[in-house]
Amino acid sequence: MEFFNFYNHGFIRVAVGIPVVRLADPLANAQRTIALLEEAGERQAVLAVFPELGLSGYSCEDLFGQAALLRACRDALLRIREASRRLPVVAIVGMPLEVNGSLYNCAAVVYRGRILGIVPKSYLPNYREFYELRQFAPGEYAREQEVFVGGETVPFGNRLLFAAMDEPLFQFAVEICEDLWVPIPPSSYAALAGATVLINLSASNITTGKDDYRRELVKNQSARCLAAYLYTAAGWGESTTDLAWDGHGMICENGSCLAETERFLDRGQLVTAEIDLERLAADRRRQGTFAQSRFQHRDQLESFRSIPFRADLSREGVLLLEREYERFPYVASDPRTKEERCREIYQIQVQGLATRLQAAGLRKAILGISGGLDSTQALLVTCRAMDRLGLPRSNVLAYTMPSFGTSERTFAQAVRLMAALGCTAHQIDIRRSCDQMLQDIGHPAAQGKAVYDTTFENVQAGERTSHLFRLANAQDALVVGTSDLSELALGWCTYGVGDQMAHYHVNASVPKTLIRHLIAWEAEREALGAETSALLREILATEISPELVPGGHGDGDQPEQRSEAVVGPYSLQDFHLYYILRFGYSPTKVAFLAWTAWQDRNRGSWPSGESERPQWSIAEVKGWLRLFVRRFFAESQFKRSCIANAPKVGSGGSLSPRGDYRAPSDSPATVWLAACDAIPEQEPNLSGPR
C-alpha cells in the first residue's frame, strides 16, 4: 500500500491553526493550542503553525513587562513540549521570551518532546497602530546563539533552518509578521539557503481591504522563493480596545493559495493542505537564476544553521490527497478565467502567425482541412490572422484532400467549415496520386490487396503534404501546420509531413484537450453565428482519427480508425504529459496523481466534447502511462528535433528543440519503464485514514 501513501511521493500535509485566545492566560492558550495540535495529528499533518505571540496574546501591550506573564508563557511552552511527545507533528507557537535582559517576540519550534529551536522576530513595526519597539528588541540585537529553556539548551536566532533527515526536500524556516512586509524578507534568504517551506507567525490586525493585500503578499513571496508559505494571524480573543482581528490563515505554494481559514470565526479552527515538495524542487532546478541568486547572496547564507530532526513520515493506512488535481491540467477550470485564457491563447497563436506572414512578405496562407479538431483550430487561427493583418479571408487557401479512409462525415464537415469561415476552398482527391506512388514502390495495395500498413498510411499523409508545399510555391503562400502538442509527444505524426513539418505551426504547443476546449469556447460564444457553432459542436463530437485506412464506418458515420485506441485516451495522456514535461516527475508519482485525480470525489468539471469517464483504475493508468513513456522517451524525439517554428502558448511547456525541450533522439526509456513496473495494479482499500 506504500504507493497510495502520499508521503512517498514528495507530499507533506501541513496545518495552520488559529485558536481562540484568552488574553494574558498562557496556560489556557496552551490547552487550546494542544487541542488543535492533536487535531492536526489526527488529520495526518506533519507540521502545524499558530499565531504570533499566541501563548500570551498579541495585544497584551505593557503587560509584556510583567514577570508573571513571561514565566507563565515559559510554563505554557513546556506544557506544549510535553504534549508533543505523543504527536508526530512539528508545532510552531508564538511567545515572548526574555534573554539576558532583552525581551524578544519569538517563534518556538517544538517536536516530540523537544524544543528544536527558537526564532526571534527580525523587524519590529513602530508606526501607526504598531509600537513593538516599546516592549521588544529586534532579533538582530541578540548575540546569543543558544538559550536555556526547560532544562535543555535550545538553538536561538533568526537564521535557523530546520531540516528533516528522512525527507531531504523538507526544510523549513520561520519569520514573524512584519518580517514579510520589508523589501527583502528573511524568508528570501532562507529559501536560498534551502528552505522549501516558509512559515510566518503573524498577528496582523484587520482593516478594510487588508486581507487582499496579505493574500497577494503571501502568494507573491511563495512565488518569488519557489516555496510553500504558511501564514497564520491572530483572531478571536485579542483585545479590541483599538483594533480588530480576523484570524486570517493561508497555505500557499509557488504563487497559488491552497487553503485559507474562515475569517472572523468565533471559535478555534485548523485548515490543512498538501505541499508538493518535488514540484518546488523541480521549479528550482529548472529556474537557473535561483542558483545564481544563491551565489550572489552567499555571504548572507553562510550564517544559517541547520537543525536536523526526523519527521516520522512513515504512516499506517492508505492516505489520499485532500488537494485536488485537475484532470485536465492544460485547461482553465475556473469559469471566471475561462474566457480570458481562451482569448489570450488565440491572441498568441494569431500574433505568431501574423508576424511570420509579415516577416516572410507573404499575404496568403495555405493549409489542409480534414474536418477534425486540429485543422479546425488552425483554420480559425489563420482566418483571425488575416483579420488582424487587414487582409481578406479569401487569402486563406484551404484544401480538403479526401483519400482511401476519408469518411463522409469528416469530408462534409471540412467543406462546410471552409464555406462558413469565408476562406478560398478547394478539393483535391489524392487517391490517384497515392495509387501512382503505391505502384511505383511496388506496394501490394497497388494490386488491390488489403495491406493497410504504415507505408500505405504514410503515402497518403506524404501526398497531402507534397501537394500543400507545391501549391504554396505556386501561389506564393505560407504552409500552416496543424498538428498539436499531444501528437508530437506521442510521436503520433508522420516524419516530414504536415503533422510534423510546415512553414509555421500554430498548434504545436497546444495539447489535444486544450484544442477541444478552445473550439468548445468558440462554439459557446457564437461569434461566428449559430450555424457555425453547431458545426463546431459536430466536429467536437467526431471520433479522433487519422482516417488513413479504408473500411466501413461505425455508428453515426464515425471514422472506423480511432487514434485513442492506439496511443491512449488523450485526456489521460495529456495529464501524463503535463506532469512529466512540466515537473519531471517519476512515472510512479504521475500514476499516483492520475489515479487520485480520477477518483469520483475529485470529479471536477469536464471540457466540452470530452467523454465523461468516472475514473481510471490503477491498472489502466499503468498501462497507458507505460505506453506514453515508451513513445515519448524512446521513439519520438527524432521527430521533435526538427519540428517547424511555433509559438509557445502555456507554462505547461512546449517540445520545441529551440525552446523548452532538448533531448537526445537515441536515448532508451529504460529508467522510466522500470518506474512504471513499480506501479501496482491492484486497487487499494480506501478504508484507512484519509
pLDDT single digits (tens) 49-102 = 999 999 999 999 999 999 999 999 999 999 999 999 999 999 999 999 999 999
Q: So what's the architecture of 335-677 in CATH? A: 3-Layer(aba) Sandwich (3.40)
Percent of the chain at pLDDT > 90 equals 85
In this prediction, residues 485-500 reach a mean pLDDT of 90
- Whether the Cβ atoms of residue 583 and residue 325 lie closer than 8 Å to each other: no
Determine whether 62 is exposed, middle or buried from the number of CB atoms within 10 Å of its CB (0-12, 13-18, 19+).
Answer: exposed
Task: Report the b/e string of 380-416 with b at 16+ CB within 10 A.
Answer: bbbbbbbeebebebebbbbbbbbbbbbbebbbebbbb
The CA distance from 468 to 433, in Å, is 14
519: pLDDT strictly greater than 90: yes
- Whether the Cβ atoms of residue 421 and residue 383 lie closer than 8 Å to each other: yes
Q: In whole numbers, what is the pLDDT of the chain averaged over residues? A: 93
The CA distance from 184 to 421, in Å, is 54
- What grid cell was written down for 186? 528573511
DSSP 3-state percent helix, strand, coil across the chain (nearest 5):
45, 15, 40
Sequential DSSP letters for 620-651: HHHHHHHHHHIIIIIISHHHHTTPPP-----T
Confidence of residue 653 (pLDDT cuts 50, 70, 90): confident
The closest of 128, 130, 83, 132 to 104, measured between CA atoms, is 132
More confident residue, 498 or 613: 498
pLDDT on residue 366: 98
686: pLDDT strictly greater than 80: no
- Global pTM reads 0.92
pLDDT on residue 129: 85
Strand spans (E) along 338-377: 364-368
Confidence of residue 418 (pLDDT cuts 50, 70, 90): very high
The closest of 518, 517, 569 to 543, measured between CA atoms, is 569
465: pLDDT strictly greater than 60: yes
> Any idea what DSSP says for residue 102?
E
pLDDT on residue 605: 44
- Whether the Cβ atoms of residue 551 and residue 367 lie closer than 8 Å to each other: no
The closest of 569, 680, 560, 667 to 627, measured between CA atoms, is 569
In this prediction, residues 139-168 reach a mean pLDDT of 95
Amino acid identity for residue 502 in this structure: A
The CA distance from 628 to 634, in Å, is 10
What's the farthest any 2 CA atoms get from each other in the chain? 102
pLDDT on residue 600: 65
- 362: number of Cβ within 10 Å: 17
- Give me the numbers of helices (H) and strands (E) for the chain, helices first please: 21, 20
pLDDT on residue 601: 52
More confident residue, 579 or 609: 579
pLDDT, tens digit (0-9, with 9 covering 90-100), for 534-571? 999 999 999 999 999 997 545 557 888 899 999 999 99
Confidence of residue 402 (pLDDT cuts 50, 70, 90): very high
pLDDT on residue 521: 94
In this prediction, residues 504-519 reach a mean pLDDT of 96
Determine whether 448 is exposed, middle or buried from the number of CB atoms within 10 Å of its CB (0-12, 13-18, 19+).
Answer: exposed
Strand partners, 172: 162, 197
**Straight-line distance from the first to the last Cα atom of the chain, in angstroms, rounded to the nearest whole number:** 13
Indicate the domain borders of the chain: 13-309, 335-677
pLDDT, tens digit (0-9, with 9 covering 90-100), for 345-372? 999 999 999 999 999 999 999 999 999 9
Least confident piece of the model among 229-238, 269-278, 327-336: 327-336
In this prediction, residues 435-444 reach a mean pLDDT of 96
- Whether the Cβ atoms of residue 39 and residue 18 lie closer than 8 Å to each other: no
CATH number of 13-309: 3.60.110.10
Give the residue numbers marked as catalytic: 52, 121, 177
The CA distance from 402 to 427, in Å, is 8
- Whether the Cβ atoms of residue 40 and residue 33 lie closer than 8 Å to each other: no
654: pLDDT strictly greater than 80: yes
Q: How far is CA 430 from CA 138, 400, 443, 496, 551, in A?
A: 80, 10, 17, 18, 17
The CA distance from 331 to 519, in Å, is 12
687: pLDDT strictly greater than 80: no
Q: How far is CA 84 from CA 73, 79, 92, 154, in A?
A: 16, 9, 11, 16
- Whether the Cβ atoms of residue 400 and residue 426 lie closer than 8 Å to each other: yes
pLDDT on residue 307: 98
500: pLDDT strictly greater than 90: no
Least confident piece of the model among 280-284, 336-340, 426-430: 336-340
- Whether the Cβ atoms of residue 364 and residue 479 lie closer than 8 Å to each other: no
The CA distance from 499 to 488, in Å, is 8
- 85: number of Cβ within 10 Å: 10
Percent of the chain at pLDDT > 70 equals 96
pLDDT on residue 313: 84
In this prediction, residues 593-607 reach a mean pLDDT of 67
